[in-house]
Structure 1
């Protein structure tokens, strides 16, 4: 499993200026899911969903491990992960890179026999042995605001790819794969890079791939955000001092970071070939969430609930995987855990929210118009400032329940750049109600207790309430959860 952090789904598509040729080969020989969605717009909730097959309201890690106290977000004790199921089946696991799933920061507690973290002492020593102690910037842009610490927006480093952390982490993974081949042991590994997460910093050789190329600003870059939550407009002010040229340079650095990772993917695929393991190894490439990268004049990820953040890259290749492009099926990051368990003959995770993709990957027919493949769902529990959101996708439409401002409804076929909020359009009143009903059904299905118990006067502002029908799922309350 190859995981990036904060990578937009469209960076791996043919129309993109971003160059990832090694991943393109995997796409051609595997399954590419174009409507794959994360469960949450930030790292820890999404990563815990990937490992457990559960939505954040069920696994408890509703915010990032380093940003809030445990009373705000904590992984529920005793929940198993797919890695533990594989370990019990006899597989040897290695984890190399960013974990950020739960607070112990110890994947070895969850079925992995070997672990090297990102930002580790091993990596610092490795850089020093190459002759790199600090970082020398050839170019960089700082974002400054009174009373806040200055932050790097983008930067170009005077160092080769070998000094980068992705190169180092893939080295660890390659070493593990070679050792497992010699030992003739069944194995699984996760290589998880921080890149292309902000700040968008990359080595000069990869930046050179995009320097001088005509990088277009996003189609929705000039969106004035009218008819949308006021918070979005406040967030846009953060980037007032960023010029169009800065946006193009930041995009070049971001794409360059993706290209750096792609070369590492090429290295590990070549290792699988050399060790005779490529034909019996499944490869999953994905990201925890996306990146705005100038969409609507915004950057990073979080409360602005746009496609650039929630749609994630997902490519799966390996034995028995029928090459296909799925652009009419909704899948989720929570579907990966049951898929891995079924593939390996491991015990299924009990009571999870995800559904195995194995039948689809084998080319077996599925009911595209039926649950769960006919809709997607995500939760957002607010980061530090408690911005409650729930999102539903069905057909052409996307609905965002905003617990802090007006809701949003978009027709993604007619308005792929999400410029026109349709919640106030009488012609879409019935569509809006249908989407809200779908949200409430998910709320009950997941046992999302706080959302379902919102009939008090201060919370009765959804277009239709949660108890519009008798739900088949019983809410057991916070203690039972």
Structure 2
């Protein structure tokens, strides 16, 4: 048994040909999709990068494993504490690669810089061989493919291996070499991206909104800065030419990555193992390319960020099948376990969809809850035609507390219809509470890491950015938005001196209570 797992960072399925995109971004991926099963409603449970991959590899929702953010206490998994044995649960088969190694009998290899990028070293648990491509997630395919090709040449003909390869080209900033050209320069933009839509987006605020495509970690600001190292990546979108540059930059990243996947497939074909090879193509998260008015970022718990591609070509299983039911990415673990003929680990949260691959059976979930606590703090419910989004911290995007989108009528999330669909919102809140209660019981503790993020000052990518951002909004003629942000986030400013009445009250209390 041989398995190739391709983790394509920041890949929105809406920009892949096999998912209906009008541009030819993914011919090699499309070929694999035609030979296997393509899932159309497949979601990461926790976004973005570190929470998603931790949930996948641990088999547990972020609310249970503890890692839901990119910093602070919630940037690490919960300690096992008194339950920990000589070997922790990840070593004892709880982690996906550990399970494949110990139960499945596979030799496991990782080609990725991800654990070092986010200091998520638990991700390594169960890999026999680890190759860090060394650029902390700033890799291009040119850095990754030679490492993968070398491994294929040395190992492909061996039996029983699992190779995990991580590409980053669709991730901002867009890094495709200029000499590659632009295969899409004569292709139209997606039909829904009109001048009217862009004008509305230019009034929106927050990181990776149309006028601030850059998060400057050094100056703690959202701005329109650009880098000569990334000439394909704009700093702001003020007109349709800028919009084209942004969309073309993203699509070129996907196509450039797809070309390199073709090199891997050709090498595997040359080694004589392609015919019987299991290929899994997916992503850690999607990417907002205009959804919610956000560009080139995975910053929300919505359709753009949390919906991911999933393509499984498993020889002997269904071919050319499209499954439209709801699934989590962590459902992959019990699915693979079942197909290997073994029981899943009892503390995994996933549900097997092996019957889909074997028989084309209908076995999806009734609803999903997806979370984001790194750029904003949100939990959302995906059910029926709906995406309900509940914001606890808006990441300075001025999101409403409740947002509701009819994905059948509005797949790009441009019109919040919560106000006219209160009954649907109430159903979503019921489902959210039902899920939350179940997860807290399964956790065995009283710690919801979402509230840990809030207690520690909010999402990492917004913490400390508000004062500088308000100044930028004022300087760029957006005083009303600045005033509204200041009103919504009063606690994120230094406390004002106590008023005279407060001082008097404290004095009287001290006189009555005496010294302590």
TM, length-normalised to structure 1: 0.74
User: In the TM superposition, what is the alpha-carbon distance from 1:204 to its structure 2 partner?
Assistant: 2.6
Q: Secondary structure at the match of 1:276?
A: coil
Preserved CA contact (<8 Å) 2:237 2:243? yes
Q: Distance in 2 between matches of 1:334 and 1:411?
A: 25
Preserved CA contact (<8 Å) 1:282 1:318? yes
Which of the numbers 396, 402, 406 marks the counterpart of 2:401?
406
User: In the TM superposition, what is the alpha-carbon distance from 1:287 to its structure 2 partner?
Assistant: 0.9
Q: Structure 1 residues 304 and 83, CA, compared in 2 at 3 Å: closer, same or farther?
A: closer
Partner of residue 50, structure 1: 56
Q: Structure 1 residues 361 and 205, CA, compared in 2 at 3 Å: closer, same or farther?
A: farther
Which of the numbers 289, 296, 305 marks the counterpart of 1:293?
289
Alignment of 1:15-414 (within 5 A): 15-64=21-70, 68-69=71-72, 71-77=73-79, 78=88, 79=90, 80-88=94-102, 89-100=104-115, 106=121, 109-119=124-134, 165-182=140-157, 184-216=158-190, 218-219=192-193, 221-222=197-198, 224=200, 235-239=209-213, 241-243=236-238, 244-326=240-322, 328-345=324-341, 348-368=344-364, 373-383=365-375, 387-404=376-393, 405-414=400-409
Q: Deviations over 1:361-406 (max 9, x none)?
A: 11242345xxxx22222112244xxx32111111111111112352
Preserved CA contact (<8 Å) 2:109 2:130? yes
Preserved CA contact (<8 Å) 2:43 2:327? yes
Preserved CA contact (<8 Å) 1:93 1:188? yes
Which of the numbers 393, 416, 420 marks the counterpart of 1:421?
416
Q: Structure 1 residues 212 and 380, CA, compared in 2 at 3 Å: closer, same or farther?
A: same
Q: Structure 1 residues 9 and 249, CA, compared in 2 at 3 Å: closer, same or farther?
A: same
Q: Which has the larger radius of gyration?
A: 2
User: In the TM superposition, what is the alpha-carbon distance from 1:40 to its structure 2 partner?
Assistant: 2.4
Q: Unaligned stretches of 5+ in structure 2?
A: 80-87, 214-223, 225-235, 394-399, 452-516
Partner of residue 138, structure 1: none
Q: Secondary structure at the match of 2:368?
A: strand
Q: Structure 1 residues 199 and 102, CA, compared in 2 at 3 Å: closer, same or farther?
A: closer
User: In the TM superposition, what is the alpha-carbon distance from 1:272 to its structure 2 partner?
Assistant: 2.4
Q: Distance in 2 between matches of 1:177 and 1:298?
A: 38
Partner of residue 147, structure 1: none
| CA RMSD, Structure 1 to Structure 2 (Å) | 3.2
Preserved CA contact (<8 Å) 2:113 2:133? yes
Q: Structure 1 residues 362 and 43, CA, compared in 2 at 3 Å: closer, same or farther?
A: same
Q: Structure 1 residues 44 and 109, CA, compared in 2 at 3 Å: closer, same or farther?
A: closer
Q: Structure 1 residues 103 and 203, CA, compared in 2 at 3 Å: closer, same or farther?
A: closer
Q: Distance in 1 between matches of 2:167 and 2:289?
A: 18
Partner of residue 434, structure 2: 441
Q: Secondary structure at the match of 1:26?
A: helix
Preserved CA contact (<8 Å) 1:4 1:192? yes
Q: Distance in 2 between matches of 1:320 and 1:94?
A: 24
Q: Deviations over 1:119-142 (max 9, x none)?
A: 359x99xxxxxxxxxxxxxxxxxx
Q: Distance in 2 between matches of 1:102 and 1:357?
A: 32
TM, length-normalised to structure 2: 0.70
User: In the TM superposition, what is the alpha-carbon distance from 1:324 to its structure 2 partner?
Assistant: 4.1
Q: Structure 1 residues 236 and 264, CA, compared in 2 at 3 Å: closer, same or farther?
A: closer
User: In the TM superposition, what is the alpha-carbon distance from 1:445 to its structure 2 partner?
Assistant: 1.8
Q: Deviations over 1:49-90 (max 9, x none)?
A: 1212211111222113xxx23x23212353431100111132
Preserved CA contact (<8 Å) 2:285 2:298? no
Q: Structure 1 residues 219 and 376, CA, compared in 2 at 3 Å: closer, same or farther?
A: farther
Q: Distance in 1 between matches of 2:56 and 2:162?
A: 15
Q: Deviations over 1:428-480 (max 9, x none)?
A: 222221111111111112117566999xxxxxxxxxxxxxxxxxxxxxxxxxx
Preserved CA contact (<8 Å) 1:41 1:309? yes
Preserved CA contact (<8 Å) 1:118 1:193? no
Q: Name the count of aligned residue pairs.
A: 399
User: In the TM superposition, what is the alpha-carbon distance from 1:259 to its structure 2 partner?
Assistant: 1.1
Q: Distance in 2 between matches of 1:438 and 1:223?
A: 35
- Segment of structure 1 superposing worse, 166-175 or 209-218: 209-218
Q: Secondary structure at the match of 1:197?
A: coil
Preserved CA contact (<8 Å) 1:181 1:277? yes
User: In the TM superposition, what is the alpha-carbon distance from 1:108 to its structure 2 partner?
Assistant: 8.4
Q: Secondary structure at the match of 1:100?
A: helix
Q: Structure 1 residues 181 and 193, CA, compared in 2 at 3 Å: closer, same or farther?
A: closer
Q: Distance in 2 between matches of 1:94 and 1:233?
A: 36
Q: Distance in 2 between matches of 1:199 and 1:218?
A: 24
- Segment of structure 1 superposing worse, 303-312 or 409-418: 303-312
Q: Structure 1 residues 113 and 421, CA, compared in 2 at 3 Å: closer, same or farther?
A: same
Q: Distance in 1 between matches of 2:117 and 2:57?
A: 10
Q: Structure 1 residues 248 and 379, CA, compared in 2 at 3 Å: closer, same or farther?
A: same
